[in-house]
Chains A and B, each alone.
Chain A
Amino acid sequence: MSATCPPPREVTRKPTLVAPKGTCDCHFHIIGDPAVYPFAPQRSYTPTGADEAAYLRLAGTLGIERMVVVQPSVYALDNRCTIDAVANFGTHRARGVVLLGSDVSDVELKRMDAAGVKGVRFITFAAGGAPLDQLKTVANRIAAYGWHIQMYVRPEHLLDLAPTLKDLPVEFVFDHLGAVTADKNENEPALNVILKLLDAGKAWVKVTAYRSSLAGHPYKDANWITKAYVSHAPECCIWGTDWPHPQMHHYMPDDGDLMDLLLECVPDTAVRNRILADNPARLYGFA
């Protein structure tokens, strides 16, 4: 367990990018009161509070109208905070992605589905989620609900999983540019695994780029990865803030800056609007 994370910026710069109607933040976390929502003892970091009111302030500045609350690893399989947050935002504009294992009950799945959950997260960058060997079982359990599996796994794990994924009855959403880092190039095997899944209509990619950067702020060294995905499959790219940016100990990114990276990587407004609004509406079932 590491030191407490610094809080996100209280003030966000208004981006130059004008968010289109229906803009959806497909990746952020709500961190509630630890007295109500205790953290898992086995966790990779300790976040600071990040509640719905603070998030909505950010959303107002950026022009976000829809939002997908992603279960943070620090709560492990206790999804109450995330599901409560979806309820607080309201399912007219919010969805959730949870952490769970293959032993989840059907009653639980039904309950979560009704609460606006659309996917299950597998993560190997932090402790807290179910191990990857449960992925196949989970995929088979959730397929009936039309949920997807959201992946944030190291490239070497992805290469191991690649032969399995394409035959599973669910779609996959890759976080953080599929965890491809800026020092790689277009021959990177993990990138090509994801591109193939995109070709097969089995995958979506979050063009949230800053964690792929090695140079740090303003993170432009990762622009090539965003461009690679967007030019390959603009209809399957989505975007998220990753607010409150856990574990950014050295420099807390400004979400206005992060959003404007899209202006550089995706200069075509029509394509950008698909990424920000139309694609997430399809994936998460917003009317």
Chain B
Amino acid sequence: MAAHWSTWPEPWTSEPVRAPHALARPAFEVPDGACDAHMHVFGPVDRYPGVPNARYSAPKSEIDDYLAMADALHLRRMVFTQASFYGTDNSYLLHALERVGKRGRAVVMLPQDADAKLIDDFTRRGVVGLRLDMFKLAKAGLSSHDIFAEIAKAAKLARAAGWHIELYSPGRVIRDLIDRFAEIPVDFSINHMGYMLASEGVPESDFRRFTEAVRNERCWVKLSGSYRISKYDDDPTADEMAKQLVIASPHRTVWGSDWPHIPICGLDTSALLNRLAVWSPDAAVRRQILADNPARLYRF
């Protein structure tokens, strides 16, 4: 058996994305207005080369590749999330956003010198959120206190723009922030169900505290990245986390494919979406998660 992708040496070489005709059959009726709240697209490398020392190579995953998949799954709406691959260069994301018009919203990363004029321009184009790379902050050795200062800074900017903040974060950083959720003055979303991995020193007891903390009215959780939590098919951890989060916060959970599933881009996005039927057997709850909740957070 080949080594598991999570053990691949960086930079990862991404697999090609799965063709739309090879997607699994839907396990439930995807509601109208269903939104993929977390996905990325990558442009042709000659025109959009990405940052030096990116953690992975981008597969061919342009906006039209994404739309072929999304249309097959009846995902009408989508939230483009700026990938670390592009740093603070949001140009391909903005191109894709323009391409899909009203179907899309975006969450960007901003350079330090972003001014009000740029932010206004982004807002007009459909940007609704600011992404904060807390992997980077944690890797740089920032303390919990310093990380919170960065969040506060981002929140201030987002508040002025009418945006939310998207916390792209390892679970232990979120765990250490739980007690300060109430101090965040804007809506904030958390990726990959909190991304709390026992293998990285975040035990289930911390996840249980997290399920209480998500009751904060500004806290939104993305049901995404299940395959980053349960790295093998028979590991029930991600399913269990998703079920608990749906129970704890049915009004503020959203679903995201994390397409193109870097680096294992051959994953079946349809099979990922089908897990929602397991996490939430109730169709009304699924409609909240897929349509109603993202419509509020992302202002569709």
Contacts and interface: CB of A to CB of B under 8 A. Distances in A.
B248 A13 contact: yes
A248 interface: no
B247 interface: yes
B243 to A, nearest CB: 10
Interface string A202-237: 000000000000000110000000000000000000
A10 B288 contact: yes
A254 interface: yes
A10 B247 contact: no
B288 A13 contact: no
B160 interface: no
B120 interface: no
Contact of A11 (B212, B248, B251): B251
Contact of B250 (A11, A16, A217, A218): A11
A43 interface: no
Nearest to A14: B247
A251 B248 CA distance: 19
A11 B247 contact: no
B177 interface: no
B249 interface: yes
A16 B247 CA distance: 10
B251 A13 contact: yes
Contacts of A14: 247-248
Interface in A1-59: 9-14, 16
Contact of B284 (A11, A217, A254): A11
Interface residues of B, number: 12
Nearest to B280: A11
A13 B284 CA distance: 12
A13 B247 contact: yes
B249 A11 contact: no
A123 to B, nearest CB: 31
B252 to A, nearest CB: 9
A17 to B, nearest CB: 12
A254 B249 CA distance: 11
Q: How many of chain A's residues touch chain B, expressed as a range?
A: 10 to 19
A16 B251 contact: no
A189 B250 CA distance: 41
B210 to A, nearest CB: 13
Contact of B288 (A11, A217, A257): A11
A217 B215 CA distance: 13
Contacts of B215: 13, 257
B289 to A, nearest CB: 9
A254 B212 contact: no
B285 interface: yes
Contacts of A16: 212
A14 B253 CA distance: 14
Contacts of B282: 11
B284 A10 contact: yes
A60 to B, nearest CB: 10
Interface string B178-217: 0000000000000000000000000000000000100101
B235 to A, nearest CB: 24
Most buried by B among A9, A13, A16, A217: A13
Contact of B249 (A13, A217, A218): A13
Interface in A137-189: none
Interface in B120-170: none
A46 B56 CA distance: 58
Contacts of A11: 250-251, 282, 284-285, 288
A179 to B, nearest CB: 27
Nearest to A13: B250
Nearest to A61: B247
Contacts of B248: 13-14
Nearest to B250: A11
A10 B285 CA distance: 8
Nearest to A16: B212
Contacts of B247: 13-14
Interface in B238-269: 247-251
A229 B225 CA distance: 47
B246 to A, nearest CB: 9
Contacts of A9: 251
Interface of B: 212, 215, 217, 247-251, 282, 284-285, 288
Given A11-B288, A13-B215, 4 more contacts: A11-B250, A11-B251, A13-B248, A218-B217
Please name the 4 residue pairs, one residue from A and one from B, whose CB atoms are nearest each other, closest first: A14-B247, A11-B250, A10-B284, A11-B288
18 contacts: A9-B251, A10-B288, A11-B250, A11-B251, A11-B282, A11-B285, A11-B288, A12-B250, A13-B215, A13-B248, A13-B251, A14-B247, A14-B248, A16-B212, A217-B217, A218-B217, A254-B251, A257-B215
